[in-house]
């Protein structure tokens, strides 16, 4: 029986927003040769969703069990998730560079928004109302919160202006820059930041010798 896969838990969530972390489920996302897909199975999608706190452990286990009995539906959800992930990645990559997203990617996101809104409801929450996602037990129950996260950023100029792409080419990871003067350049200082520093050191050393 499928179980919680520990591997996916090793991956850092550096995006700072759920939809950006989802967009980062490919290593070296900006490279056609080097890129490495993480969502290679429905199990990985569920495990990542657990890792990203979209699903609780019990929900994840229940989805994995259901997927065993409905493999073709699970496969379809995986394809749908990857397609949505790529559209989110392309949209935010272009926006981070002050370019306009293409119509095809927006159409994919808009279809997902239609599906997601059908699974949301507002419920009383202390002094206001909050959005609750229904049907978490459906195989695609992890997608609406991701879509919601994308909508939140896209519809706010302030939020949108903080979306950036890592300068460590071909990393391509997206992140939400919360630094006061918006000076963050890399997905992670420990990874791409250090690589850039080492490269600079190497060049300086060679130029000086
Ligand atoms: Zn990076």
Domain with 95 in it: 7-208
Is residue 2 domain-resident? no
In a domain, residue 102? The reply is yes
Give the range among 16-20, 65-69, 137-141, 175-179 with minimum mean pLDDT: 137-141
Task: Report the candidate in 116, 89, 123 with the shortest Cα–Cα distance to residue 105.
Answer: 89
Asked if residue 1 belongs to a domain, the reply is no
Q: How far is the CA of 172 from the centre of ligand 1 (A)?
A: 6
Distance between Cα 171 and ligand 1 center (Å)? 5
What pLDDT digit, counting tens, does each position of 34-78 carry? 999 999 999 999 999 999 999 999 999 999 999 999 999 999 999
Query: Rounded to whole angstroms, what are the CA distances from 76 to 70, 139, 146?
Result: 10, 10, 17
Judge whether 173 lies within some domain.
yes
State the distance from the centre of ligand 1 to the C-alpha of 78, rounded, in angstroms.
Answer: 25
Establish if 63 belongs to a structural domain: yes
**Residues 112 and 84: beta-carbon distance below 8 Å:** yes
For residue 192 the two structure tokens come to 């791409």
Query: So what's the pLDDT on residue 8?
Result: 59
- Ligand 1 centroid – CA 120 distance (Å): 34
Report the distance separating Cα 12 and Cα 16, nearest Å. Answer: 11
Q: In terms of C-beta density within 10 A (0-12 exposed, 13-18 middle, 19 or more buried), how is residue 161 classed?
A: middle
Number of domains making up the chain: 1
CA of 132 to the centre of ligand 1 (A): 33
User: CATH code at 180?
Assistant: 1.10.3300.10
Distance 167 CA to ligand 1 centre (A): 7
* pLDDT band, residue 132 (cuts 50/70/90): confident
User: Is the model more confident about 190 or about 45?
Assistant: 45
Query: Would you say residue 4 has pLDDT above 60?
Result: no
pLDDT at 189: 85
CA of 29 to the centre of ligand 1 (A): 9
Q: Is residue 33 part of a domain?
A: yes
Q: Identify the residue whose tokens are 């996302």.
A: 29
Ligand 1 center–CA 31 separation, angstroms: 12
Distance 125 CA to ligand 1 centre (A): 38
Can the peptide bond before residue 170 be classed as cis, meaning omega within 30 degrees of 0? yes
Give one DSSP letter per residue of 23-92, joined into a string: HT-EETTT-TTT-EES--SHHHHHHHHHHTTSS-HHHHHHHHHHHHH-HHHHHHHHHHHHHHHHHHHHHH
Whole-number Å distance, alpha carbon 201 to ligand 1 midpoint, is: 18
Distance 130 CA to ligand 1 centre (A): 34
How confident is the prediction for the chain on average, in pLDDT? Answer: 90
């Amino acid at each position: 029986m499928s179980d919680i896969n520990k591997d996916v838990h090793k991956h850092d969530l550096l995006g700072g927003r759920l939809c950006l972390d989802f967009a980062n489920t490919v290593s070296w996302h900006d490279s056609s040769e080097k890129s490495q897909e993480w969502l290679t199975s429905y199990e990985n999608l569920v495990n990542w969703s657990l890792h990203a706190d979209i699903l609780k452990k019990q929900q994840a286990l229940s989805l994995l069990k259901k997927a065993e009995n409905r493999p073709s539906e699970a496969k379809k959800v995986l394809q749908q998730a990857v397609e949505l992930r790529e559209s989110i990645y392309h949209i935010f990559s272009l926006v981070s560079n002050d370019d306009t997203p293409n119509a095809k990617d927006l159409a994919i996101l808009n279809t997902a928004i239609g599906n997601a809104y059908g699974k949301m409801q507002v419920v009383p929450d202390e002094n206001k109302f909050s959005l609750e996602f229904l049907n978490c037990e459906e195989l695609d129950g992890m997608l609406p919160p991701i879509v919601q996260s994308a909508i939140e950023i896209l519809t706010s100029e302030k939020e949108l202006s903080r979306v950036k792409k890592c300068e460590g080419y071909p990393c391509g990871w997206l992140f939400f820059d919360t630094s006061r003067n918006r000076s963050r350049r890399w997905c992670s200082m420990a990874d791409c930041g250090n690589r850039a520093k080492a490269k600079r050191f190497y060049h300086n050393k060679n130029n000086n010798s």
